Amino acid sequence: MYWDSGYNNNPSLAESWEAVSDIEYIFHLRKGVLFHNGQEMTSEDVVYSFEHAMDESISAYAGWLSPVASVEATDDYTVKVTLKEPYSPFLDVIGRPAVLVMPAGTFEKEPFEYIGTGPFKLKEFEPGVKTELVRNEDYWEEGVPYLDGISMSYLLDDAARAANLSSDAVDFIMMVPGASWESLTQQEYKLFTGDTGIFFMFTFNVGREPFNDPNVLKALQHLVDRQVMCDVYTAGRCNRFFAGDPQPPTSQYYTGIEYFKEPDIEKAKEYLAKSNYPDGFEVDLNFYGAASDEGQIAEILQISAAELGIKFNLLATDHAVWVEKVYKGEFTAALQGLYASSPDDIFYGIMHPEGVAHGFAPNFDIPEYNALVEEARRVTDPDHRRELYTEALTIGYEAGWPLIYLFTYDDRMGMHPDVMDYQVDGLGTVRFLKYVWLDR
């Protein structure tokens, strides 16, 4: 299964599926799919891949799959998944995808071979430097991919990435910097945007001073000017701003909670005056990448906070440190980009102590809140789930919500004029490069 740009699940390795009860799902696999090593994919491989993804010692997705009780191959092309209890986000988790299918026994025999079923095979991989892919001649979807191969390099510097495109050193770049948008447009490069559900947020560790004080968090919520930050990061091309509820208003679970429509410096001052730090404080703020638009967003907060006597020391963080510190919650304050496509991603995945991404909200642990979002995972009725999320979010903000949601932004891809038929999925990935071709 895979998500399209509207977050809908679509057939892929599974041709179809059905829920036979609140806790049982049946997946019917596509026949004749070959792995990159020429072996046919069967239900045995899917069961193995599920079990691998559920192993907490080796999988980043184990938390998403913790409600799974068992996975069984009922025949060569049918898989039955049984849950421990009703788990309403289950199909969204599979479509993410949380389970990447590989041949049974791969991890034990060839852990670094990266054998899958995708449209491109791995030719060479140098972490943090480059990835070389070649066309999979045996791909199950007839006629694609069109490209013979893909060569990917990693450039964290925003200006360097844009310069590589404008000089035709590359055909395609991800994350076009806001400052380069206009110039690339004038040079007639294609700039692709698509809503991916990716959003930016400031996150604070409530287990450390001064963010263990709810009034400090409320002061900062009212201080932030989301429009100015959007203008810097995306040249004004944000999809929506957050006024309280991080879900889109179109979501059937949207709570309607709106606390922070506009920055309010006076209200920010009032909350800080009520806190244990009325004269302000000094603290480090981590962000990812030195030469990036993220640094400019952090600077905007730094300037605004100075008016309250708050000093943020901005620390540009490389990838190794980011993974070691921020992903594990070992920070005091940070700026983070993240995607979330379902309410469970946010309300449980990030905010619950057992959530797979709780490192982004370290030490946030409120029993009343936890009980509500746990119940919401088990509920399938949309109205009931929305009521539970509304109550949980209200409790969370009153206790001191450690995330300041800023805005969602388009997936900003830049490409040479002869790159044709690029598409984006709901995660901002390059899954659909199999449909890209070059008009040259």
Q: Are 347 and 390 in contact (CB under 8 A)?
A: no
Query: Going by CATH, does the domain composed of 2-108 fall within 3.40.190.10?
Result: no
The pLDDT value given to residue 426: 59
Q: The tokens of 289 are what? A: 């990448």
Q: Class for domain 196-409, per CATH?
A: alpha beta
Query: Going by CATH, does the domain composed of 120-194+411-438 fall within 3.40.390.10?
Result: no
d(CA 340, CA 197): 6
d(CA 300, CA 335): 12
Distance between first and last Cα of the chain: 33
Cα 2 to Cα 58, 344, 358: the distances in Å are: 23, 18, 25
Classify strands 311-317 and 282-288 as parallel, antiparallel or unpaired. parallel
The model's pTM is 0.80
Which residue, 284, 269, 367, 318, is CA-closest to 128? 318
The pLDDT value given to residue 194: 62
Q: Are 104 and 111 in contact (CB under 8 A)?
A: no
The pLDDT value given to residue 168: 93
The pLDDT value given to residue 298: 93
Neighbour tally for 421: CB within 10 Å: 11
Domain ranges of the chain: 2-108, 120-194+411-438, 196-409
Q: Positive or negative, the Cα torsion across 79, 80, 81, 87?
A: positive
Q: Which residues touch 242 (CB under 8 Å, ≥6 apart)?
A: 199, 226, 260, 405, 406, 407
SS (H, E, C) the chain: CEECCCCCEECCCEEEEEECCCCEEEEEECCCCECCCCCECCHHHHHHHHHHHCCCCCCCCCCCCCCEEEEEEEECCEEEEEECCCCCCHHHHHHCCCCCCCCCCHHHHCCCCCCCCCCEEEEEEECCCEEEEEECCCCCCCCCCCCCEEEEECCCCHHHHHHHHHCCCCCEECCCCHHHHHHHHHCCCEEECCEEEEEEEEEECCCCCCCCCHHHHHHHHHHCCHHHHHHHHHCCCEEEECCECCCCCCCCCCCCCECCCCCCHHHHHHHHHHCCCCCCCEEEEEEECCCCHHHHHHHHHHHHHHCCCCEEEEEEECHHHHHHHHCCCCCCEEEEEEECCCHHHHHHHHCCCCCCCHHHCCCCCCHHHHHHHHHHHHCCCHHHHHHHHHHHHHHHHHHCCCEEEEEEEECCEEECCCEECCCCCCCCCCHHHHHCEECC
Instruction: Per-residue pLDDT tens, the chain, 440 aa: give them.
Output: 877 666 678 899 999 999 999 999 999 999 999 999 999 999 999 999 999 999 988 887 888 899 999 999 999 999 999 999 999 989 988 887 789 999 999 988 887 888 999 999 999 999 889 999 999 999 999 999 999 999 999 887 888 999 999 999 999 998 888 778 788 888 889 887 666 667 789 999 999 999 999 999 999 999 999 889 888 877 766 766 777 888 777 778 889 888 887 899 999 999 999 999 999 999 999 988 765 678 889 999 999 999 999 999 999 887 777 777 877 889 999 998 777 667 898 899 999 999 988 888 999 999 999 999 999 999 989 899 999 999 999 999 999 999 998 887 666 789 999 999 988 765 656 667 899 999 98
- Which residues are 120's β-sheet partners? 135
d(CA 44, CA 71): 10
Q: Which residues touch 160 (CB under 8 Å, ≥6 apart)?
A: 291
Which residue, 33, 108, 94, 26, is CA-closest to 64? 94
The pLDDT value given to residue 282: 98
The pLDDT value given to residue 33: 98
